[in-house]
C-alpha cells in the first residue's frame, strides 16, 4: 500500500514538474515575440519626439521607435504628437502654420534641456536601417500627400520596408500606403471607446489591408485579444508603463506594447 502511495505521489510530482516546465517555456516563447515600442521615444526619460528620446530608446534596446508625423508649412514631415506646438515647445499655434526653420527655432526640451523638433529626413539620416520605425500618419486629411512623402523619404535613405510599421486611425491613409507598398506592415489604431466593440465583420475588413490593431491598453480585455489573434492580427496596445500590466498583457497574448519606458518592458520580457 505504501509503495502504491509512493508511486502515485512521485508520478504526480513528476507530472506537475513537466507541466510547470512546459508552461514556463511557453510563457518565455510568448515573451520573446512581444515587440518593445518606444512611445515617442524613451519619453519617460527624455523630451518626447526629440533625438535625445530616440537615442535613449535605442540604448534601452527598444525594437521600434515611434514617430508621430505632421507636415510643416513648407510640406516637410516632422515628428511631433500634437496638432499645435503649445504643449511640447515654448511656442504657440499649429504645426502647419510654421516652416521647418521656424519650428526648429522652438525649444522642444523640458526644463533646462534644449531640443529641437526633428524632421523625418533627419531621423532617417541619423538612424538609417540600424533601428526600426513605428510611424503614425497623424490627421492625413489635413496633410494631403503625406503617405507619398513618407515613402519617398524611405526610398531616398534606403530604409527597408521590413524596418517600418505604419499606423493610423485613418483606414484611408493605411490603404493608401498599402496601395503603394503592399508588403508594408500596417496597424489600424483603435480609439479608446471602440477598443472592445469591433465586430467579426470589422475584423475581417481590417485584415484586408492591415496586419494588426492598436487598442487602448486600459480598456482591453483578454477575450478581445484572443479574438483579434484568431484573425491572425497583431495586437499592440498603448500605452503601458506599469510592470504588472505588462506581465498581464503578455499573458493575454499581445504581440507588442507601446511604453514610455522601454527598459522596463525589456526587463520584464527578460526576467530581470
Catalytic residue numbers, as ranges: 39, 81
**The three three-digit cell numbers of residue 103, written as one number:** 519650428
Interior CA angle at 255 toward 127 and 207, to 5°?
A: 95
To the nearest 10 degrees (0 to 180), the angle between helices 146-156 and 171-180 is: 40
Strand runs labelled E in the chain: 35-38, 64-71, 77-79, 133-137, 164-168, 185-189, 212-214, 234-235, 256-259
Name the 3-class secondary structure at 74: coil
**DSSP letter (8 states) at residue 118:** P
Distance CA 114, CA 133 (A): 24
Q: 158 to each of 129, 133, 261, how far by Cα in Å? A: 8, 13, 29
Other C-beta atoms lying within 10 Å of the C-beta of residue 170? 18
**φ, ψ dihedrals at 75, nearest 5°:** 65, 35
Bridge partners (DSSP) listed for residue 199: none
Bridge partners (DSSP) listed for residue 235: 213
Interior CA angle at 161 toward 121 and 33, to 5°?
A: 115
Amino acid at each position: 500500500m505504501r509503495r502504491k502511495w509512493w508511486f502515485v505521489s512521485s508520478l504526480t510530482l513528476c507530472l506537475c514538474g513537466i507541466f510547470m516546465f512546459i508552461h514556463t517555456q511557453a510563457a518565455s516563447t510568448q515573451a520573446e515575440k512581444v515587440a518593445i515600442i518606444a512611445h515617442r521615444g524613451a519619453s519617460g526619460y527624455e523630451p518626447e519626439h526629440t533625438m535625445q528620446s530616440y537615442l535613449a530608446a535605442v540604448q534601452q534596446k527598444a525594437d521600434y521607435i515611434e514617430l508621430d508625423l505632421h507636415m510643416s508649412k513648407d510640406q516637410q514631415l516632422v515628428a511631433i504628437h500634437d496638432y499645435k506646438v503649445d504643449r511640447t515647445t515654448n511656442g504657440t499655434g499649429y504645426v502647419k502654420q510654421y516652416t521647418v526653420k521656424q519650428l526648429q527655432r522652438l525649444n522642444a526640451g523640458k526644463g533646462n534641456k534644449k531640443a529641437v523638433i526633428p524632421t523625418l529626413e533627419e531621423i532617417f539620416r541619423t538612424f538609417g536601417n540600424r533601428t526600426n520605425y513605428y510611424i503614425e500618419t497623424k490627421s492625413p486629411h489635413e496633410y494631403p500627400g503625406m503617405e507619398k512623402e513618407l515613402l519617398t523619404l524611405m526610398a531616398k535613405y534606403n530604409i527597408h520596408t521590413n524596418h517600418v510599421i505604419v499606423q493610423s486611425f485613418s483606414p484611408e491613409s493605411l490603404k493608401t500606403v498599402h496601395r503603394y507598398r503592399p508588403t508594408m506592415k500596417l496597424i489600424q489604431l483603435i480609439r479608446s471607446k471602440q477598443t472592445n466593440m469591433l465586430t467579426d465583420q470589422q475584423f475581417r475588413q481590417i485584415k484586408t489591408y492591415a496586419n494588426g490593431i492598436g487598442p487602448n491598453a486600459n480598456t482591453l480585455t483578454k477575450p478581445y485579444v484572443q479574438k483579434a489573434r484568431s484573425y491572425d492580427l497583431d495586437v499592440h496596445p498603448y500605452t503601458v508603463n506599469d510592470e504588472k500590466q505588462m506581465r498581464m498583457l503578455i499573458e493575454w497574448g499581445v504581440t507588442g506594447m507601446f511604453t514610455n519606458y522601454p527598459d522596463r518592458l525589456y526587463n520584464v520580457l527578460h526576467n530581470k
